[in-house]
Chains A and B, each alone.
Chain A
Amino acid sequence: MDTFEVLKKLSEASGVSGSESGVSQIVAEEFKKYVDELRTDALGNVIGLKKGTEPSPRRIMLAAHMDEIGLMVSEIEKGFIRFTTVGGIDDRILLGQEVIVHGLKPLPGVIASKPPHLLSPEERKKVTPRDQLFVDVGLPEEEVKALVRVGDFISFAAKCVRLQGDMASGKAFDDRASVAALICCLEHLSQMKHRWDVYAVATSQEEMGLKGAIVSAYGIAPDLAIAIDVGFGDSPGIPEAETVKVGKGPAIAIGPNFHPILREALVKTAQELEIPYQIEAIPGPSGTDAWAIQVSREGVPTALLSIPLRYMHTPVETLSLKDIERTGLLLAHFISRLEKFPPE
């Protein structure tokens, strides 16, 4: 699989939380190549089942969220579009950003505000408050009213690009990089034997409160779960203590959210296969699907792999493609070796 091509397809698709159909179609196409059964549930989770070889297979659930943060039309004022946020948007990246308004048809637009010449010096130093921003699609008022309604989703229009070495940048790498890793894992598994049933889940609405994970985990009732998300990659201005290193492999998380034996088994697999990995200490809620899955029904032993990512929640998220491949490889080998859990 061409990691960059898959990542690019996923990244450039539109799939804001609550309206993931633009990306879920792509995910379904990719999953179909490797899974035995595919379904979509009530909240839009895409669930692929790749069957295992044992007679009554136990179940492992892999979760990566396909939704992205974005915006939503809240009001139309003289042809200009006011908006609210969907998920945790950093207000600082809004001004001047290119977007797509998903009305009756996709409309390119820009996020605009008063020109700087008209601002006082103090105003210029501050981040423009959201209620002074609007989206301009360049069309006359009547056309806008005919094509756009309150509640229409707005996604960022950002190209996915290759940078130097094996680095890449684009929007929604949180968490489509992990979806790519999941697809990579499935591709490896199609060449390997595994005893357990693998439920590959591209979850929905993670950015709205882990919603897809809550209901898909309930529906699947897995025996084990591994969530794949992104972690804060090292970059200037952030203390090293709070980041993981880009290009040094997935971070395996340690903390109350994660089952110690499952975590150790992942570390062991990485060590035996000489796959680079890092350890990330998370003392409380992980802010990922893992937090929801761990307490589903009677509890699920859960682990988290994080792909190091710079500039999270901006349209220029940046990572190392190798880290995606390493994550996919680690998952596949771990799954193919799964027999009893806990191991004797």
Chain B
Amino acid sequence: MLLKELSEAIGVSGNEEKVRKIIEEYIKPHVDKVSVDNIGNLIAFKQGDGSSSLKVMLAAHMDEIGLMVTYINEKGYLHFRPVGGVDERILPGKRVLVGDKAIPGVIGLKPIHLLKEEERSQVAPLESLVIDIGASDKSSAEKMVKVGDYAAFDVAFQELGARRVKGKAFDDRAGCAVLAELVKERYPFDLYAVFTVQEEVGLRGAKVAAYAIEPDAAFSIEGTVADDLPKEKDVSPTTRLGHGPAITIMDRTFVAFHPLVRLLVETAEVEGIPYQFKQPLVGGTDSGAIHLTKKGVPSATVAVPCRYIHSPASILSLDDLENTIRLMEAALKRLKPEHLRVE
């Protein structure tokens, strides 16, 4: 399954090559041209059937959050810093894979037996954590890893039953999996399917790709927060598993273009595809960078709900993934110039 391959591949922001190769191989037979730009975005071009003069950009980001080795100490332990918004509370007790050779390492912790009472309820400060690859000293560590190496979490993809799956980096390999399927269709318009880089450190890849392409409309396809756990208060779950693709009204980086949101909703209703609205003003996506390109680009974001996205093991529903593909395909086929006019 493509999602499994993508989820297990290692591609932390700034080092997306392995993911790029998997995607390139998968989509090549279905598109007209594939290229890689100055920052590492994978850009696939597919000509339209000639019935529309529009240029549409779809974006899904290849990068995942992870860690970077910043220093190797005398004893061979690796100091590190997070890359992207890693939830620091989840670090202790995790297994990681370091560098291009995926050297196994662990983030250990002082045993609980040796802690003072107050220390037990405190989050271990980042500076106190190190990665242990089992090296005896600095020089033996340096034979295996180096400063600047990236580390990703070591999490295997697993099917859980009830169409639910677990894996790392569903944000945004789920989006990549959706986009990789979408390019199999030929649309009325010219399609630029961009597998972007460095979304997690500031929507960087999307910014330069959109500048080069100058699309008439853009959609980001994401894996987004699902917080549908039991709560004390009756408040928003942001999105819920099993309730279909989540359409963004607005997030912290952009306000979705109203006519495009309407197109998505109408399409879902006509085609009988379940959908939900993502809680407004939560998170950010490549659309945040794309919509401000040059004179502005009407943009929207559709996402697959995922639990625990900024920790190593996330969970999503394959039904939601497939419905996201269905919704995007149907909406893109109904996209007309009138959906790009401000009212």
Contact = CB atoms under 8 A, between A and B. Distances in A.
Contacts of B69: 281
B73 A241 contact: yes
B204 A284 contact: no
Interface string A222-253: 00000000000000000111100000000000
B70 A295 contact: no
A259 interface: yes
Contacts of B201: 256, 284-285
B70 A281 contact: yes
A283 B83 contact: yes
Contact of B208 (A239, A257, A298): A298
Contacts of A285: 201-202
B204 A295 contact: yes
B68 interface: yes
A277 to B, nearest CB: 12
B336 interface: no
A158 interface: no
B207 interface: yes
A92 to B, nearest CB: 21
Contact of B13 (A254, A256, A280, A298): A256
Interface residues of B, number: 30
B38 A298 contact: yes
Interface residues of A, number: 22
Greatest chain A CB density within 10 A among B38, B68, B83, B204 is at B38
A241 B70 contact: yes
Interface in B38-76: 38-39, 67-71, 73
B14 interface: yes
Contact of A241 (B79, B83, B208): B79
B338 interface: no
Contact of A299 (B67, B147, B208): B208
Interface string B176-215: 0000000000000000000001100110100110011000
Given A239-B127, A241-B71, A285-B201, A279 B147 contact: yes
B211 A298 contact: yes
B148 interface: yes
A254 B39 contact: no
B104 interface: no
A221 to B, nearest CB: 11
Interface of A: 239-242, 254-257, 259, 279-281, 283-285, 294-295, 297-301
Given A284-B202, A297-B208, 5 more contacts: A254-B147, A256-B13, A284-B201, A298-B211, A301-B38
10 residue pairs, one from A and one from B, having the closest CB atoms: A256-B14, A254-B148, A299-B208, A241-B71, A299-B38, A283-B68, A298-B212, A241-B79, A299-B39, A281-B70
